[in-house]
Amino acid sequence: MKDTTTDTAASFTSFGLHPDLLSSILAAGYTTPTPIQAQALPVVMQGRDVMGAAQTGTGKTAAFSLPILHRLMPFATTSASPARHPVRALILTPTRELADQVGESVKLYCKNTPLRSAIVFGGVDINAQRDELRRGCEILIATPGRLLDHIEQKNVSLAQVGILVLDEADRMLDMGFLPDLDRIVRQLPAQRQSLLFSATFSPEIRKLGNNFLNNPVSIEVAARNATADTVKQIAFSAEGDEKRLAVMHIVRSKKLSQVIVFTNTKAGASRLARQLEREGLKAESIHGDKSQLERMKVLEAFKKDQVEVLVATDVAARGLDVAGVPCVINYDLPFNAEDYVHRIGRTGRAGASGEAIALVSSSDMHLWADIQKLTGKNTELQRLNLPSTPSRTPSRQRDNSRRTHKPQDEIFYKPYQPVASTAPKTQPAPRHNGNVGASQGKKRSVGILLGGGYY
């Protein structure tokens, strides 16, 4: 009989990774290296500097952490002495969420080794982090501001850091972290390996690379505008309140238990989550006005399937890694087409399939055109066939009806007839009062087919 266990790890084995790391990859269910892993692993293992263009979702965390851990294995010790566990690899990320995710991945990859890792970011109690740092760790994952606090408090020394990673460097620059980065890098030995990852290669990023990297190898796996082939892109025309009804219909008819819905504003995210909650969906919002603790709690609940719909703004969602999100909905289209690529990168990760649904109102047409241009796709705008009047039954009753209802996907996708396409672009879309009914549906300039009762 074929030994599938050996086969599974075979492609990773060819890199010569330490067996204790291979065993954790195997346990994590990784079968084949992703393109960025195939390119970066050998180069990083050799100790070369890297300038990598890769977005979240490509497997870039493993691409840099696995070879780093491999290089640190000679230093792995079971000694309890903090002095034997100095920080040897520093990974800087722009956001707390990304630090947490990278840190969790690193912990997973080195769980069969004595290597220690720690994650530090702001917005949470500093004392527990201080205690962990003082116990010693070979790998430190940090956001710049909190790391500087720890350096000032002398909770950590970076004098023995031999490897530096700047993850999502473009976002770090956008968020104004350059002075902090300069201060941190001044603490590091000049002789070190440095890796820089960024979704884009702007002139500013190249300048950063010139300053921090030494003769780097350039690795590029996905163009700036690339959307994964594994993501099926669908677009519906929807005006005003129909967008909310559409979200409910999509979640219910497709029986989705994990959906990320993007809005453009923090207030919009909170409002939509509250409305969906009132309609009986388990919804939460995640945005910049929430405390770090609240954000982490919401994210945990979402990962554990306790929250069906996560309504998020771009900043809060950047880098979110929730394995296997089957669907991302763009409730608001982003003003910047590149954000669309980031948003839908939350689904279809590392080869898994996913669906990205855009809800496009007539006033969004110019944004939709920008997105189509950037992604080089021509996604047909379809009519939404929404159920008739939404019920106002108590949430518990609605919840039951949802579980017993037969999905009506057959009425869901209808080719869009651009009824409103002759209307001038500047003319605002007619807004209805939220009480969607068949007669209103017929009157609207962007047509909505209203199907049989669903709720």
In the chain, what are the helix, strand and coil shares in percent, each to the nearest 5? 45, 15, 40
Residue 230 C-beta: closest distance to ligand AMP, Å:
12
Phi, psi of 384 (to 5 degrees): -90, 130
Among 24, 39, 61, 113, binds ligand AMP (CB under 6 A): 61
Looking at the Cβ atoms of 33 and 86, the one nearer to ligand AMP is 33
Rule CB under 6 A: is residue 67 a binding residue for ligand AMP? Answer: no
Residue 258 C-beta: closest distance to ligand AMP, Å:
13
Residue 165 C-beta: closest distance to ligand AMP, Å:
12
Rule CB under 6 A: is residue 57 a binding residue for ligand AMP? Answer: yes
Rule CB under 6 A: is residue 350 a binding residue for ligand AMP? Answer: yes
Looking at the Cβ atoms of 66 and 235, the one nearer to ligand AMP is 66
Looking at the Cβ atoms of 51 and 272, the one nearer to ligand AMP is 51
Question: Hey, which residues does 311 pair with through a beta bridge?
Answer: 261, 285
Helices (H) and strands (E) in the chain, counts: 18, 16
Among 192, 244, 318, 349, binds ligand AMP (CB under 6 A): 349
Looking at the Cβ atoms of 293 and 323, the one nearer to ligand AMP is 323
Rule CB under 6 A: is residue 56 a binding residue for ligand AMP? Answer: yes
Which of 304, 309, 307 shows the shortest CA–CA distance to 328? 309
Looking at the Cβ atoms of 61 and 113, the one nearer to ligand AMP is 61
Q: In 361-401, at which residue ranges do the beta strands (DSSP E only) sit?
A: 381-386
DSSP 432: -
Residue 117 C-beta: closest distance to ligand AMP, Å:
15
Stretch of 16-24, 51-59, 180-188, 307-315 lying at the interface with ligand AMP (CB under 6 A): 51-59
Query: How many whole angstroms separate alpha carbon 85 and alpha carbon 115?
Result: 8
Rule CB under 6 A: is residue 62 a binding residue for ligand AMP? Answer: yes
Query: How many whole angstroms separate alpha carbon 380 and alpha carbon 159?
Result: 56
8 A C-beta contact, residue 286 and residue 314: no
DSSP assignment of 304-321: TTS-SEEEE-HHHHTT--
Looking at the Cβ atoms of 58 and 253, the one nearer to ligand AMP is 58
DSSP 226: -
Entry field: residues in the chain: 455
Residue 107 C-beta: closest distance to ligand AMP, Å:
12
**Residue located via tokens 């608001």:** 332
DSSP 95: S
Rule CB under 6 A: is residue 282 a binding residue for ligand AMP? Answer: no
Rule CB under 6 A: is residue 58 a binding residue for ligand AMP? Answer: yes
Residue 28 C-beta: closest distance to ligand AMP, Å:
6
Looking at the Cβ atoms of 53 and 133, the one nearer to ligand AMP is 53
Rule CB under 6 A: is residue 194 a binding residue for ligand AMP? Answer: no
Largest CA distance in the chain: 75
Query: How many whole angstroms separate alpha carbon 316 and alpha carbon 270?
Result: 13
Sequence-ordered list of residues with C-beta below 8 angstroms from that of 182, at least 6 positions apart, any chain: none
Residues between 354 and 383 that touch ligand AMP (CB under 6 A): none
Residues between 292 and 331 that touch ligand AMP (CB under 6 A): 321, 323
Rule CB under 6 A: is residue 290 a binding residue for ligand AMP? Answer: no
Looking at the Cβ atoms of 57 and 280, the one nearer to ligand AMP is 57
Rule CB under 6 A: is residue 441 a binding residue for ligand AMP? Answer: no
8 A C-beta contact, residue 367 and residue 333: yes
8 A C-beta contact, residue 329 and residue 260: yes
Rule CB under 6 A: is residue 51 a binding residue for ligand AMP? Answer: no
The distance of Cα 255 from the centroid of its chain, to the nearest Å, equals: 22
The tokens for 443 are 């009157």
Looking at the Cβ atoms of 56 and 253, the one nearer to ligand AMP is 56
Looking at the Cβ atoms of 109 and 262, the one nearer to ligand AMP is 109
Query: How many whole angstroms separate alpha carbon 202 and alpha carbon 179?
Result: 18
Binding characters for ligand AMP, 23-42, by CB under 6 A (x = yes): -------xxxxx--x-----
8 A C-beta contact, residue 54 and residue 233: no
8 A C-beta contact, residue 136 and residue 82: yes
Looking at the Cβ atoms of 105 and 362, the one nearer to ligand AMP is 105
8 A C-beta contact, residue 208 and residue 172: no
Total number of residues binding ligand AMP (CB under 6 A)? 17
Stretch of 52-60, 85-93, 221-229, 255-263 lying at the interface with ligand AMP (CB under 6 A): 52-60
Stretch of 15-23, 50-58, 118-126, 383-391 lying at the interface with ligand AMP (CB under 6 A): 50-58
8 A C-beta contact, residue 26 and residue 9: yes
- Footprint on this chain of ligand AMP (rule: CB under 6 A): 30-34, 37, 56-62, 321, 323, 349-350
